[in-house]
Amino acid sequence: MKDIRNIAIVAHVDHGKTTLIDEMLKQSGTVAAHRELAERAMDTNQLERERGITILAKCTAIEHGDTTINIIDTPGHADFGGEVERVLKMVDSVLLLVDAFEGPMPQTKFVLKKSLQLGHKPIVVINKIDRPTARPDEVLDMVFDLFVDLEANDEQLDFPIVYASGLNGFAMHELGEEQKDLEPLFEAILEHIAPPKDNPEGPLQMQVATLNYDDYLGRVAIGRVFSGKMRVGDNVVIARRDGSTSKARITKLYGFKGLEKVERDEIGAGEICAVTGMEAILPGETICDPDHIEPMDMIEIDEPTLSMIFMVNDSPFAGLEGKYLTSRQIRERLDRELEHNVALRVEDTDRPEAFKVSGRGELHLSVLLEQMRREGYELQVSQPEVIIRTDENGNKLEPIEKVVIEVEADYAGTVIRKLQERKGEMTHMTQNNDGSQRIEFLVPARGLIGYRSEFLTDTRGTGIMHTNFHEYGPYRGDIERYRGGPLVVLEKGETTAYSLYNLQERGVLFVGPGEDVYGGQVIGENSRENELVVNPCKGKKLTNVRASGSDDALILTPPKRFSLEKAIEFIAPDEYVEITPESIRVRKNILHHGKRKAAKK
């Protein structure tokens, strides 16, 4: 067998995983020194680069001496935890990255818990050690406490520690050592992570962890060979999730090196590889030797906690901007997403044009919607709802999120009051070195819908909030949600500056002059709680009488523009978000004003 190490880099969002991998690729010589390496080279998806987060787990491999180190870059956001859960089974250990100032955060706990359950012995990397506010000794104590809380065994508690700066490309075993390069990190990987103990002589067993799609090759299955060898042209059997089997033939095999896939004729036990020729294969399924069909245990994925209704767009502007509009096209796109997005669920509803889509959180679903919209799909979605369960005694259970907030002391009182109004329960509060407060809460997931933008307003944009699924707990009763009433358009037309000027004192507007609107569209938020039907298309009646001052230039406040997440947070139960490749609009589900009044009665 080749000398191999298989590791995953896990951490909370924004703790520097992808940046550290950039430096590892450069310093190992895997990416040629003369080649320009894009910042966060592993984030290849356009959405990942725009948002600065990792959404899909990706493989790379670096050569260090005679050793190949396979590295998997994992998402740090809780909504993409399904990606992390699948790839942890492919590796022999993890590098747990922790920010030298922030310390362990909710997602750190989530990924570490999954790793410890699989028996991994993590290497702890305290990253961003060059920050002026770094407090590595305190953070190390917090990491140790977290290992104890998660019931790590004695071997796991004796974890090796490396101090690093991914951005500046250095690592050290002890604080105060010379800051040169990442060699101490490579040494720790080779010393503390055991090579694979898989059997190269046994019958073939490869478990698929994740999927890619290639326009020329079709479905590309990525996973680890746990036993035996794979060769191009071999006939194999796929052991399916439902217990059935089907025959297939390996058409191409790829190993990983740097940012590229390298074509290979043979892959041995212990290696992570990509294989093509497997029709309709799904994550968790096993590729076996035809004479020894032994499926591996399926990868268990945590259940979704939030659902939305995706439906065909039926607004008056339907079909003007999108390419794919029908329920059949939307369903086909969702089915394609299910092939690799294992934390997603899609169910039919009693209406043929609507589907119930469930996921890990608002971000998980909004990233899917953003991808669909960029591909030319047009649809509308309902307000997100949490998935309620019942226990054996018939009691209602709802998802509870763990919320960690870092906020300046001046704003802490407002944040605590707002979260308690949303049925949150404060569990912990400490003061940081810089005088800011770190507060931990347990809050029902439905209490957090729409709270993030309110939180940023309350903390003047300085607060940091992280959430992660904690458990299903007892239902905590009704939550009152305050939002100003909607300003709803009376009839179809084009907005005028004259009309908007008179409307802007009523509340916050979402449209500017010269925009097409339709009856039932929500174009603003009323400063009061009642719904107000308005006509933003009214022009000024011209006469031949002139009066000084009446024809002055109209000064309009710039409209508030919604991102997809903000629109989903904003809407009420009787509203939809209309999503097209060009626009995001908020509308009432019953567009006609008279019918809407009748329905309320």
Binding positions for GTP are 14-19, 127-130
Contact 284, 241 (CB under 8 A): yes
Residue 164 in 3-state DSSP? strand
Whether 123 and 189 have beta carbons less than 8 Å apart is answered as yes
Q: Burial level of 600, CB count in 10 A (0-12/13-18/19+)?
A: exposed
**Amino acid at position 597, single letter:** K
Whether the Cβ atoms of residue 383 and residue 362 lie closer than 8 Å to each other: no
Rg from Cα positions in the chain: 27
Provide DSSP, 31-92. S-TTSPPPTTTT--SHHHHHHTS--S-EEEEEEETTEEEEEEE---SGGGHHHHHHHGGG-S
State the DSSP code for 389.
Answer: E
Q: How far apart are CA 373 and CA 308, in angstroms?
A: 16
What are the structure tokens assigned to 318, written together?
A: 């339907």
What is the spatial distance between Cα 60 and Cα 5, in angstroms, rounded to a whole number?
A: 12
Q: Positive or negative CA dihedral for 241, 245, 251, 252?
A: positive
3-state SS class at 490: coil
Contact yes or no for 205/225 (Cβ under 8 A): yes
CA-CA distance, 384 to 390, in Å (whole number)?
Answer: 20
Take residue 186 and report the two structure tokens written for it: 């490579």
Q: What is the rounded CA–CA span in Å between residue 205 and residue 385? A: 40
Identify which of 2, 80, 161 has the alpha carbon closest to the alpha carbon of residue 340.
Answer: 80
Query: For strand 93-99 and strand 123-127, is the pairing parallel, antiparallel, or unpaired?
Result: parallel
> Measured between alpha carbons, how far is 20 from 168 in angstroms, rounded to an integer?
9
Which amino acid type is present at position 464?
Answer: I
The H or E element spanning position 97 is: strand 93-99
What are the backbone dihedrals phi and psi of residue 299, each rounded to the nearest 5 degrees, phi first?
A: -80, 120
- Which residues are annotated binding-site positions? 14-19, 127-130
Measured between alpha carbons, how far is 148 from 128 in angstroms, rounded to an integer? 24
Of 240, 224, 345, 235, whose CA–CA distance to 282 is shortest?
240
Instruction: Return phi, psi of residue 17, to 5°.
Output: -65, -50
Could you tell me the two tokens for 480? 């009152």
- Measuring CA to CA, which residue among 448, 341, 344 is closest to residue 405? 448
For residue 228, which of 256, 255, 199 has the smallest C-alpha distance?
Answer: 199
